[in-house]
Structure 1
Amino acid sequence: MGHSTKLLTPTQTVGDIFSDEFRQKLPAKLTNVLAQSGVGPIILWGECAMLYYGVPVSQNHMHLLVPDDQLETAYKVLLAAGYKDSPLPLIPIVSSRDPNTRWE
């Protein structure tokens, strides 16, 4: 099972996704929900890891890694906690820097 999702809380607005305060609090909320359900170890990656170390970033997404055998459980736990699955389609793009097609 693979999910490429953007999880939104029931009360979250699109503007919340881009607020620094929201982005700094969300990783702790997500990891706590998963840890309480026995999912782990949990690794923050990309932008969230950089924010943890105080490195400014301009991206607005999060990478949350869980063990492969716990992916289904983690997904269900986050849905049960009120997060919504809002998958984005994979769109092939070609960059002038990289002539090979890649998925983003």
Structure 2
Amino acid sequence: MSGGSVLAELMAQGVREGTDLVTLRAIAEEAGELGATRALARMGLSDERAQADVKELRELLTAWREAKSSAWKAVVGWVMRLGCALLLAGLAMRLGFQEWLK
């Protein structure tokens, strides 16, 4: 039985026999399953390669985040080094070490 036919059968059973809590839960579960299956199919993730594709996309996203993080750390490191170099140069000028540079 396909998901749609199971859902239709549960709905018919609910109409015939009245709906109890178990039937309502079964209807909700089947409707959710059917909706999820349709959504995955619309996104192109219903075949056997979908799990591998999603795993690969997650790995790429993780690599991108790590690269972005390390790039920011490198930029901050270079800015700090430049700031320290300028501070030392300014301190050297202030203390009269500019004669050493000549």
Q: TM-score, normalised by structure 1?
A: 0.25
Structure with larger RCO (C-alpha < 8 A, sep 6+): 1
Question: Which is richer in helix?
Answer: 2
